[in-house]
Structure 1
Amino acid sequence: MGLDILSYDFMKNAMLAGFLASLMCGVMGTFVVTKRLVFISGGISHAAFGGLGLFFMLGLSPILGAYAVAVIASLILGYYKPSKINSQDAYIGILWSVGMAAGILMISLSPQSYTPNLMSYLFGNILMVRPEDLIWMSILTVSVLIIIFGFFKYFLSIAFDEEFAQLQDIPVRLFRMILFVLTGLTIVTLIQVVGIILVIALLTIPPLLSMIFLNDFRRVLLFSVLISIFLTQSGIILSFYLDLSAGPVIILLGAMILFGTYLLKRNNKLVK
């Protein structure tokens, strides 16, 4: 327990990656929960695995393939109203399954001499983040935040009431597609932290916790970022000392806090 974890370069990289991912997670997760895009986000994350497998089979960077497919899927889904997509939940479920199946199949059929550890993609491996990955994550994080806060009132409008936003002459479809793309980019970034299987949990737990305490959207967003930072940093530190995988530790820590908070609220010991 006396070890200074920051003396290890891989731990520095992991904690910085967790911090960057938390900024995106807290912001985009708040929009995902508010606009009820959780199931759709799950479809995007699993479809991205198909792109990951395709690019690996072609000898290209797998994570770039995940980004490419996530963006394409986000643009297609963002073109339609969420209410229409949610009414076709069976198709999202098919997208969910086909993306995973295609990714696994293409990785297994790859002519390359080695096969990547699927567990690192399914459950994340933040300790393997490289300095060049941090540069890419930094660029993405800054870009996402600039776009969101640069057009914040437009995204806020379509998050709560698209019909009213349409009456205000806001190009709803355009900003909805942008919101979906930003969500897709965030999802793939989080895959490197907690993996495809757990990404939706990390995207939703911080906003749900924030909404227990707060009602104002801006405050929920800020609190979600802070909670995301706490969960990722605490999870990484715990996983180091307990010699466990960081992704599951991060999610289980968040789930326990969320469950405990709900219990306190139910017993009238926590006032919203």
Structure 2
Amino acid sequence: MTDLLTVDFMQRALIAALLVGTVAPMVGIFLVQRRLSLIGDGMGHVALAGVAIGLVTGTAPVLTALVAALVAAVVIELLRTRGRTNGDVALAVIFYGGIAGGVVIISKSPDGTPANLMKYLFGSILTTQRTDLYLFAGLALLIAVTTWVLRPRLFAVANDEEYARAVGIPVLPLNIVLAVLTATTVVVAMRVVGLLLISALMIVPNAAGQLVARSFSSGLRWAIGFGLVSSVGGVALSYPLNTPSGGTIVLLAVGLFVVTALVSGVLGRVGGRRHDVAERHEHEHDARCGHPAVPHGDHVDYVHDGHLHAAHEGHYDEHGAHHHEDSIAGRDGANASGTTAPTTGTRP
């Protein structure tokens, strides 16, 4: 691990993983909102056909894959929006047509074998060249800037397409932009994660982020964090473990999701158990109920049967035991001062 950064191809792979881990969750969060989690797979299969065209014609596979994925992105969105074929069927047609076309086209290459596609299907850190890295960096910057600038509108469309259309937001152009961003992300990630696994890096970090986030913005930040840990950590682990980078990245992302789900579940149960001790009774505490009122921070506790109760969302939470002498003193002090306790108290 100490010589990890001294190897040229690992340096390039880590930089590519950093780029992919940042932009994949940024695009994926809108796919999750729109329930299009598998669209990345469809784009990946079409990109595979583009890679095959590049290998057969001697053109850079990254460029031909990008062109094929962009064309498919626009076609899918137009079919989904205006065609008679619904979105799922359109995805399926592109999905299977892309991978079948890739296998058939690559069979016409000089080598005559689809084995050359394996490094694109599942990723290979050895295939990331310096020129590819420059292209990936430019595409990743374009994805990040576009997503960040358009995120309010993309969120509005993903959350409620009909409402967005009613208030004048250009829904179709934004949907096409999102599809294009997805296609570009697939191409950026194909050398590190692989065309068959990139969808996982767009979706799984977002699924983990939603378990701990309280808003869309925080969910996006958590997703990017999980994506970076998964991508960079997966590439770093694949070197000493001698495992494929794509599979290691996805397994790490899934592991982070499982751990996050378990921890959030345990914390939720612990919090629920603490709240189960809340007191429920018919009596309503106020200034005329006869129970002493004891100031406690920014709210008021009432002494009832030797216990401190605080009003909280229609019930009373237990705040500990209270001695009878303190109750008398608290009530006498209140009466002597001529003040009355507020009718309700709130708990932070």
Normalised by the length of structure 2, the TM-score is 0.72
Contact 1:77 1:85 in 2 (8 A): no
Residue 115 of structure 1: how far off its partner (Å): 7.1
* RMSD over equivalenced CA pairs, Å: 2.4
Contact 1:42 1:200 in 2 (8 A): yes
Does residue 173 of the first structure (1) align with residue 172 of the second (2)?
A: yes
The whole-number CA distance in structure 1 between the counterparts of 2:193 and 2:72 is: 21
Aligned twin of 2:308: none
**Which structure features the higher share of strand residues?**
2
Q: Closer, same or farther in 2 for the Cα pair 1:31/1:204, shift >3 Å?
A: same
Look up the SS of the partner of 1:42 in the other structure.
helix
Aligned twin of 1:36: 35
Q: Percent of aligned positions with the same letter in both sequences?
A: 29
Aligned twin of 1:204: 203
Q: Closer, same or farther in 2 for the Cα pair 1:60/1:112, shift >3 Å?
A: farther
Look up the SS of the partner of 1:197 in the other structure.
coil
**Which structure features the higher share of helix residues?**
1
Q: Closer, same or farther in 2 for the Cα pair 1:72/1:46, shift >3 Å?
A: same
Contact 2:77 2:176 in 1 (8 A): yes
Q: 1:190-216 deviations in whole A, cap 9, x for unaligned?
A: 111111121111111110000000131
Residue 269 of structure 1: how far off its partner (Å): 5.3
Aligned twin of 1:217: 216
The whole-number CA distance in structure 2 between the counterparts of 1:223 and 1:146 is: 18
The whole-number CA distance in structure 2 between the counterparts of 1:162 and 1:150 is: 19
Segments of structure 1 that go 5 or more residues without pairing to the other structure are: none
Q: Closer, same or farther in 2 for the Cα pair 1:269/1:85, shift >3 Å?
A: farther
How many pairs are equivalent? Answer: 271
Aligned twin of 2:185: 186
The whole-number CA distance in structure 1 between the counterparts of 2:238 and 2:107 is: 30
Q: Closer, same or farther in 2 for the Cα pair 1:80/1:214, shift >3 Å?
A: farther
141-150 or 176-185, larger mean C-alpha shift: 141-150
Q: Closer, same or farther in 2 for the Cα pair 1:85/1:162, shift >3 Å?
A: farther
Q: Which structure carries more relative contact order (alpha carbon 8 Å, separation 6+)?
A: 1
Residue 249 of structure 1: how far off its partner (Å): 0.7
Contact 1:79 1:176 in 2 (8 A): no
Contact 2:107 2:114 in 1 (8 A): yes
220-229 or 86-95, larger mean C-alpha shift: 86-95
Contact 1:74 1:177 in 2 (8 A): yes
Residue 33 of structure 1: how far off its partner (Å): 1.1
109-118 or 227-236, larger mean C-alpha shift: 109-118
* Paired AA for residue 94 in structure 1: V
Q: Closer, same or farther in 2 for the Cα pair 1:88/1:21, shift >3 Å?
A: closer
Q: Closer, same or farther in 2 for the Cα pair 1:137/1:38, shift >3 Å?
A: same
Q: Closer, same or farther in 2 for the Cα pair 1:176/1:200, shift >3 Å?
A: same
Does residue 260 of the first structure (1) align with residue 254 of the second (2)?
A: no
The whole-number CA distance in structure 2 between the counterparts of 1:115 and 1:84 is: 34
Equivalent runs, 1:1-272 vs 2, <5 Å: 1=1, 3-81=2-80, 87-111=86-110, 117-267=116-266, 268=268
Normalised by the length of structure 1, the TM-score is 0.91
175-184 or 47-56, larger mean C-alpha shift: 47-56
Contact 2:53 2:105 in 1 (8 A): yes
The whole-number CA distance in structure 2 between the counterparts of 1:84 and 1:242 is: 48
Q: Report the structure number with the largest CA radius of gyration.
A: 2
Contact 1:210 1:220 in 2 (8 A): yes
